[in-house]
A and B are shown apart, each in its own frame.
Chain A
Amino acid sequence: MTAEVVILGGGVGGTIVANLVAKKSSGRAHVTVVDTTGIHVYQPGFLYVAVGKEQPSALRRAETSLLRDDVSLVVDRALRVDTVARRVQLESGRTLPYDQLLLATGSRTVMDEVQGAKDAHDFYTMDGAVRLFEALEGFEGGTIVIGVAGIPYKCPPAPVEFVFLLDDYLRARGIREKSQIKLLSPLNRAFTIEATSKLVQPILAERGIELTGFFNVETVDPVAKTVSSLEGETMDYDLLVLVPPHRGQKVIEDSALGDERGWVPVDKNTLKHTKFENIWAIGDTTNIPISKSGSVAHYEASVAADAIMASVKGEAPPKHVYDGKVMCFLETGQGQATTIQFDYDHPPVSPTPARRWHWAKALFNKTYWHTVPQGRLP
């Protein structure tokens, strides 16, 4: 009998698992990916769209072009998962039965949870990045404030990368002298990782980027143009860029598959749901205490694919488990970058920023389409 493997979400994680399960199943499983748009979006590129270094069209591909021919794609919205009847209710009225279910629905941004922040800029959605670049093109000097309005958020180094790229952008336009860049960090350092913060803080100072620690954005007053923190401080801005609060997708919340913010509880090694034998989750979707990033989804995908295949075949769970591996790049501006690599047992390390890491990131961004979704890069 052919097992039905249903994957909710055609992002990086869902796409890799779909391809790997279909490849390894030898006809024992039929894989269906459910995606709301059918368009695969390379989200790490938003940062570059926001400063005019990338075109939105370069970050989108049809999901079908990334999936194997034997994987079915359903372009529809999953509304609810019935864990008793083992089926997924779709917006069109259709239902999909499953034997194994992978939740790879990612996260969504909810700027409206921040009082007064409706018109604040962000680079966490394509629309936000495009609108931010338009605003920057019209900016002629003043104070640009970059803050974090919710934890956890995708790609913890992204606000630091953004301020470096913004510094480059303002210098290239010849208006850096008339501008102030202020980075508000939720912690008392540039971002979560201490070793990397120590490396980038002197570079922030050297570029004249002001860092304010322990400033967790709580409210915005768009008339007075001020932003206030959970810690009780207030700061003026001319242009405000916020990392919006994130939460899990509505289908997770409506199906009671996650916690109060919609993050799915899974075992941090096996990625199996803590309550359901035949449900797995990867990437931003989970509540694992690790970065929400494409890198995590990528490294988790092969583990989830092997676990799902073992379950389909009725075999013991594989020894191959997720070890918390994360590897990402961090742009430090002026054509340089560093990397951050760690796992559950090894603390993060970052090399001195260099041009080669900037080029490695650029190369990865371009070759992504031909390597990662297909599961060709381990």
Chain B
Amino acid sequence: MSTLQIDKTVDARGMACPGPLMNLIGAIRQGQIGQVFEVLSSDEGSKTDIPAWVAKAKHELVEVNQDNGCAHFIVRKAR
């Protein structure tokens, strides 16, 4: 488990549309540099979409954990 302080959790489990990544983007848009976001997603596509977007947008993917079919992504807003 992470010992990081999470500033905002986006619970996107069961979400089909607009999707966990879109909610993460929305949260990051509203957030401050340095804040840490946690996204919970049961969507298979998130496993590739979220790391790909985080890399493209030059934020930091801190951790990815799996738990009962749900993936937890921890992302720090880097810029």
Contact = CB atoms under 8 A, between A and B. Distances in A.
A216 B23 contact: no
Given A151-B26, A230-B25, A289 B56 contact: no
A209 interface: no
Contacts of B25: 151, 186, 216, 230
Contacts of A193: 16-17
A232 B29 contact: no
Contacts of B79: 232
Contacts of B53: 187-188, 214, 231
Nearest to B58: A232
A152 B56 CA distance: 20
A230 B30 CA distance: 11
Contact of A192 (B14, B18, B29, B30): B18
B33 interface: no
Interface string B1-31: 0000000000010111111011101101110
Nearest to B14: A344
Interface residues of B, number: 23
A347 interface: yes
A289 B53 CA distance: 20
A1 B17 CA distance: 42
B15 to A, nearest CB: 4
B62 interface: no
Interface of B: 12, 14-19, 21-23, 25-26, 28-30, 45, 49, 52-53, 56-58, 79
27 contacts: A151-B26, A151-B29, A152-B22, A152-B26, A186-B22, A186-B25, A187-B19, A192-B17, A192-B19, A194-B45, A214-B53, A216-B25, A230-B29, A230-B57, A231-B58, A232-B57, A232-B79, A289-B14, A289-B15, A289-B23, A290-B17, A324-B16, A342-B17, A344-B14, A347-B16, A348-B16, A348-B17
